[in-house]
Each structure stands twice: as C-alpha cells, then as structure tokens.
Structure 1
Amino acid sequence: MAVITISRQFGAGGVTLGKMVADELGYTFADSDIIQRVAKEANVSTNWVESFEKEAGSKLSRFVSSMVSKRWLDRILGDERGYLDEQIYLDYLVLIIAQFADEGDVVILGRGSQYILNDHPDAFHVLLVDDLENRINFMMKQYDLSRKKAERMVENEDQRRINLYKRLGKSDFESPRLYHLVLNMGKTDLQTAKGMICEMVNKKETLKAS
C-alpha cells in the first residue's frame, strides 16, 4: 500500500516517469484524476479546475477572490453549481491527496503532495531536477514542440509551481531533506530512474512483509 509522490521541475520528465513507475508497479497514476475529484467535490467542471490550476496565484485570480463574496455566491448559485477559490481549492486538494494516499498503491504527481503526505508512513517522496536547457529540449522532443513554445511552457509552469507553493506557505520545495530520493535527470535516463524508484519501494514493501 505504498504511496509515491513525484515533485519536479517542469520538463524534467515527471509525467513520463510517473506513468512508467505506475505501470511497472501496477499502481494508479494520479494526475488528471486529482482534477476530476476536485471538480466533483466542488461541483464544478474539470475545465474550471484545469483553468484554475493554471491561473491561481495570478493577480487576476487574487483580484476576483477578493471582490466576490462567498456568501453572495452561495445564495445566487445555491446547490445547482459550485464555486472555486484559492482556499476551497487548497482544502479539496489536501483532502483528495489524502484520500489517494489512504487507498494506497498510487503515484501522485506534484501539487504539494510531498508536504501534504510528509508524515505518511508509507509515502516515498521523489524530486526530479534538471538544467533549464535540458528541460526545454525534453519538452521539444517528447511533445513535438517548437523551441519557442517549449521555452514558454517551461517558464509558465515554473512560475505556476512557485505560485502553488507560495499559497501553501512553502519556499523549501527543492530542499533535498524533504525527499527520499532526488534525481538529476540530466545525469540519468528514464529507465534507470524508474528502476531506482521501484527498487526503493519494493525493498521497503519486502521488509514490511517479512
């Protein structure tokens, strides 16, 4: 019933490696599933959650959150449809990541899961890092992007990551002390990285069973 969290600098191969590890171990890969569960709990569309994750923490979202009264929204919207702001999103995020962890046998991608599950006894926390140039090249090759688009995506996603951790009140998200394993993806390949993560988990599971 292990839980693996994968935090990463964008373009370091987190999605690709997460899926590889999940497939190898027969685990659930929780990425879009988290969006779907947040949408269901908040009674909003998955598109709303996806857009919110991209924009939350921006000046626009903070302005809207400060101007809109939740009490007014509750009265106007009633139970017909939901509402999402930064605090509600974070509350649901913590709840749903904890639910995935309780279910076990899951690889959770990002979203502050290394903090949310910091004290979970069966959690393994992994951080992926790489040089900026390598991350841009990875995005170009893996997703057939132009250099300009890959550069823009890496820049935007790096900023979004910083925004999320600011909302969580965290600034040490790349500190090695938070993680069981830190992988420099510029120094290894995906297959080797997958093997290292799976070996770490399998050894712990074998010790638990003995």
Structure 2
Amino acid sequence: MKDMLHGDAQKLQKKKKLSETRVLPETAMAADPMPSGIPPQGSVVVTISRQFGSGGSDIAHMVAQEAGLNYVDQKIITEVARRLNVDMEYATRQDEQTTGLSSNILEALRSSNPFNVHYMYPASKAQSQSQELAYFHLTQRVILELATQGNAIIVGRGSQFLLHNNPRTLHIHIFAPLEYRIDYVMRQYQLNRLAAREMIEQRDDEQASYLRRYYGVDGRRSNFYHLLINTGLFSFESATNFICQALPVVKAME
C-alpha cells in the first residue's frame, strides 16, 4: 500500500511539474526571427485603434468587405490559443489585459523602445508572469505574420505601434464623444445608462493600461495615426469611404 501511495504521489508530482513547465512560445521564438510585418508590394495593411463604443469594429468589418481585406480580430485570439494549447476562455481573458505583471517587468518594458519590444525575450520569471508575456509575444508574432501576408485590417492590440512606420500600412483611430458611446453600448449590450458608462470606463482603462504597460505609450496621441475619425460626427459609411479612399495612396508607399 505504501509503495502504491508513493507511486501515485510521484505520478501526481510529475504531472504537476509537466503542467508547470509547459514549453512556452518565447523559448522557441527566441531563436526565430520575427516576421517583418511589411506587406508585399501592391498590398496594404490597415490597423484600427478604437474607443470602446465608437463603432470601430463595425467600421473595420465594413472596410474589409468593401476593399476585400482579411478582417483580423477574434482570429488573433483563436490562433494564439491554438499555439499556446490553452482554451479560448483563458486566451480571451489575457487579450488586451494587463493583470499580474510584476513591477520590474513593467519597468523593463516601459524603458525599452516601444517599437522594439517584440524583440525582447525576458529571463526566467514566475510562471504566471511568463504565461502572460508568452501570450503577449505570441500575439505580436501572429499580428506580424498576418501583416507580412498583406491585405489585412487588424483591430486593436497595439498593432498601430507594432507596425509603426511600416510602408503600405495605414493607421486609423476611431473615437466618439462619451454620450454617443454610452448610447451605442446601451443598444449593443441591452444595458441601462449607468451600466453602459461603467463598462466604457472599465474598457478604456484596460486598453490604456495595456498600451502603457506593454508599449510604454499613450494610445490617444494623434501623431501615431494617419486618420482620426469621429463617429459622433461622421456615419460608419462615411468613415468606411474615408479609409477606402486612402488605400490606393497607402499601397504606393515605399
């Protein structure tokens, strides 16, 4: 009996060790050059940064359909979850979230050039921190791969900074007045005004924290974008037309 219990304990310990030491993507990626993120000649990439409730994702869908571009949003989460071998629920929780990072990692990220963060591979850290950074680095790799293929419209996740200054790449920021956003969220999620406002505040905080902590930048700075579109003033159709009209110019960029 004692031997059986000892054997079971060893199996449990081995299983626990395997789960704790899952091979993380950054280990494999460290030896692999990152994709350039530069679309081929004659193709284009559009990044859409958006305030929650401004309709940015709707506009991205409309542009993708109008211009024949690959719409990239949920696809990033799905691909990262597949490569990390984790369920979608875990991947969704990690997506554009920032909880659990220790201060020394944050300071290291902040002090780095924000556009070179994807070349950083941290030394061994606590497992939870490694998993979060693994998700972050793999998210960046997936974005870079999709951008390198060209003809994609990529929503959020700091793609405007990761692909900053790349040729044939157009950066858009969609925003709207708070009251417009509250009304939009109330309609979309069937919420009352107070709940809609709280959801907007939470999402704004999460997105701002994500960009500050991982890229060390303020996503509201206008100099990172080619077009800023206020959907409190312009319809989704007008916004879509503005972006589509810019695509031929962007395709000619060197």
Tell me the TM-score normalized by structure 1.
0.82
Identity of aligned residues (%): 31
Structure 1 segment 1-210 matched on structure 2, within 5 A: 1-53=43-95, 56-58=97-99, 61-62=100-101, 69-70=126-127, 85-205=131-251, 207=252
- Is the 1:42–1:84 contact (alpha carbons within 8 Å) kept by the matching residues of 2? no
Match of 1:85, SS state, is: helix
Structure 2 residue runs without a partner (length 5+): 1-42, 106-124
Q: For residue 146 of structure 2, what is the amino acid of its counterpart?
A: F
Deviation (angstroms), 1:173: 1.3
- Is the 1:6–1:125 contact (alpha carbons within 8 Å) kept by the matching residues of 2? yes
Deviation (angstroms), 1:202: 2.9
Q: Please report the RMSD computed on the Cα atoms of aligned residues, expressed in angstroms.
A: 2.2
**Distance in 1 (alpha carbons) for counterparts of 2:65 and 2:242:** 15
**Distance in 2 (alpha carbons) for counterparts of 1:199 and 1:182:** 14
**Distance in 1 (alpha carbons) for counterparts of 2:216 and 2:246:** 27
- Is the 2:53–2:181 contact (alpha carbons within 8 Å) kept by the matching residues of 1? yes
Deviation (angstroms), 1:159: 1.1
- In structure 2, the CA distance between the partners of 1:35 and 1:145, relative to structure 1 (3 Å rule), is same
Structure exhibiting the larger radius of gyration computed from Cα positions? 2
* Alignment length (residue pairs): 190
Match of 1:11, SS state, is: coil
Deviation (angstroms), 1:87: 1.3
**Distance in 2 (alpha carbons) for counterparts of 1:31 and 1:13:** 14
- Is the 2:45–2:154 contact (alpha carbons within 8 Å) kept by the matching residues of 1? yes
Structure 1 residue runs without a partner (length 5+): 74-82
Divergent runs of 4+, >4 A: none
